[in-house]
Structure 1
Amino acid sequence: MVLILRVLIGLHLVIITPTIVRAQQQTYAVLVGVSDYKNLSDKTGDLQFADRDAKQVLAFLRSKIGGNVPAGNIQLLTNQQATRSRIEKAVMSFGKAKSGDRVLFYFSGHGLTNSFAPYDAQSGRVSTMLTHQDIKTAFRHSSASTKLCIVDACLSGSMTRPKQGTPTRLSSTTDKGNVAMLLASRSTQYAIESRRLTGGTFTHYLLLGLGGRADRNDDQIVTIHELHQYVAPQVRRATKGRQTPVFYGRFSDNLALTYL
């Protein structure tokens, strides 16, 4: 999304998408989408489609292809609901997950190079931001075998950067599962909203890919490798090269995200 950087400098978007798991496994998801900010307006940086995109991800997770995730396992926070304190409380639900389960965090809204902007973010006040480290900590405290962080935001690629020389980790050192960040753009790029697509360009193609368009070998399974092979060129083409998605983490290329 092309952002107006007047009030909240560098604010961008972040998102997280689901991996489909087997019936006996549980998925716990926190979906955040902020278009209408408390301290912004249409002229000073509010977005158009971030809340809609989060609702689209919710609809996908509730669908058969998305895994029929129970409504009670999904927390959707949009606009006024998406305060920093409520998001921090919501991601604590990842602690419920057991080995074999999946957790998913999705954020669509403004973001900085080291944080995301909740509804109540204030310009120049780092303490009001949701930091990348906040999400990484919530993931590390979860026993889930699959952890997905999906971000549709400008500068979202900066989430791969280590903090003060330490390795970038989303899981504990003993976790042998799959940990993946699916990020809308490189660390120096905007994430672009599209009126034509009525949503974030990254989220639009991400959901199309998960819905089956990314199944390159027609085996009725969309793997994370197939998803990247579909989404990256689609987004680059749609944005005329201004935006390149980044998939980063520790995972098998054969990690199945959806069963069609």
Structure 2
Amino acid sequence: MRNFVLTLSFCFLALLAVAQPGSGFNPQRTWVFMVGVLEWADANSFPSFEKKGRVDAKIKAFFEKQGVPSQQMVYLKDGQATTQAVREAFVSFLKKAGKDDVLFFYYCGHGYKNDAGKVCFANHKGADWTAEEIVRSVNTHFAGKTAYLTADCCNSGGLAEEAQKYPAKNYAALTSVVPTNVSTGNWTFSNALLYGLQGQNFVDTDGNGRITVGELAAYIDEEMAIAEGQKATYFVPKTMQDQAIATGVPAKKNARIGQRVWADYDGTPWLGFIIGAEKNGSFTVRFYSYTNNETDNVEAARLKPYTCPKNMAVGSPVSVCSATDKKWYPAKVIKKFSCLHFIQYDDYGSEWNEWVAPDNIKVRR
């Protein structure tokens, strides 16, 4: 009997091991460079973020768990991340990799455009560190052809614009917002990125057991549109669209897993998404917040599927609350994505075109 129990236990553990998603990254060939800045020497220009629950540390822990060697990982955070220190560490780091290696680059913090109009990532202190310099450094010093370039900050889409300038390389860029806009102070983008890396089944939109770069990019885009009302930016070359980020992703046990919902709490709706289904018919919901760490078990009757609160047709005349001065202006809808509308102001040039969240658009009367 004891042998039977032991055998059953080992079989159960083996099944658990099989059920765990696999990474699309070969740890021995993966090089991870991360900069996470949540406090700055110039606190007047760059206000600090809450450090509790920081997701950049969780992304680092993910790669450590996958077995990426410590000598192939650099994580500079907060006061460590001066521009001088980051530049020196980055170039030195890139030069160590081989021609078959893969780079994963990540930045979180504040982003901005300098006086020359270039997108910059704000280090703890020091000179501008531009998206242009980052991608150029990768192209110059990294022997491998494949790089994942990710950023969670204002204007981060500038990284995607720079990645497109190197068509001979496999540079995929996933960023939280378009190059011209500010980004949320929440960890929504970084969490969505981590969900894909971990092989969470709600990111596997076609349910085939693998999460591709293209799927992850589309998932992040939808997450940012719905949860934060902003348009993410990504560039994924055709050669990388079907490249796996995670494999062996377990099938959803319920079709509603991943569905975005409103959960009713005494008449107040809270936005979240379903991550699990219970035997009693209730659902586990993870709620959107600063860190997305809050979960609760919610009865099905209290859940209402999320739908876009506003849906203006392309060509519709609308009034828009500008992100620049918070005043309402006449405009026209040019295109749509998810719950966002891309508009052109009636009395201004196309350089002022922007993506608008549902709260900032209404029918013009």
Q: Which letter maps to 1:151?
A: A
Does 1 or 2 have the higher relative contact order (CA < 8 Å, sep 6+)?
A: 1
Partner of 2:206: 217
Question: How does 1:137-216 map onto structure 2 within 5 Å?
Answer: 137-141=136-140, 142-161=142-161, 168-169=164-165, 171=166, 175=168, 177-194=169-186, 200-211=187-198, 212=200, 213-216=202-205
In the TM superposition, structure 1's runs of 4+ consecutive aligned residues that sit over 6 Å from their partners are: none
- Asked if 1:120 corresponds to 2:122, the answer is no
Structure 2 regions of 5+ residues with no counterpart? Answer: 1-22, 114-118, 249-365
1:115·1:129 contact (CA, 8 Å) conserved in 2?
Answer: yes
Deviation per CA, 1:143-172, whole angstroms, max 9, x where unpaired?
A: 21311110001111133446xxxx953x5x
Contact 1:221–1:256 (8 Å) recurs in 2: yes
Matches within 5 A, 1:11-90: 20-22=24-26, 25-40=28-43, 45-49=47-51, 52-64=54-66, 68-90=67-89
Higher strand share: 2
CA shift in 2, pair 1:161/1:232, >3 Å: closer
Inter-CA distance 102–50: structure 2 relative to 1 (3 Å threshold): farther
Report how far residue 49 of structure 1 moved. Answer: 4.5
Q: Secondary structure at the match of 1:219?
A: coil
Per-residue CA distance 1:166-196 (angstroms, 9 max, x = gap): x953x5x7x4x521111110122222123xx
TM-score by length of 2: 0.54
* Contact in 2 for aligned 1:34/1:79 (Cα 8 Å): yes
Fraction of identical pairs, as percent: 24
CA distance in 2, matches of 1:187, 1:259: 31
In the alignment, the residues of structure 2 paired with residue 97 and residue 220 of structure 1 have an alpha-carbon distance, to the nearest angstrom, of 30
- Conserved 8 A contact 2:40-2:79: yes
- The answer to whether the Cα contact below 8 Å between 1:51 and 1:78 also exists between their aligned partners in 2 is no
Which of these two proteins has the greater Rg computed from alpha carbons?
Answer: 2
Contact 2:204 2:211 in 1 (8 A): yes
Q: Tell me: CA distance 1:44–1:27, structure 2 relative to 1, closer, same or farther (3 Å).
A: closer
For 2:53 and 2:75, the matched residues in 1 are separated by 10
Residue in 1 aligned with 2:231? Answer: 244
* Aligned residue identity for 1:139: V
Count of matched residue pairs: 216
Q: Structure 1, unaligned stretches of length 5 or more? A: 1-18, 122-127, 195-199
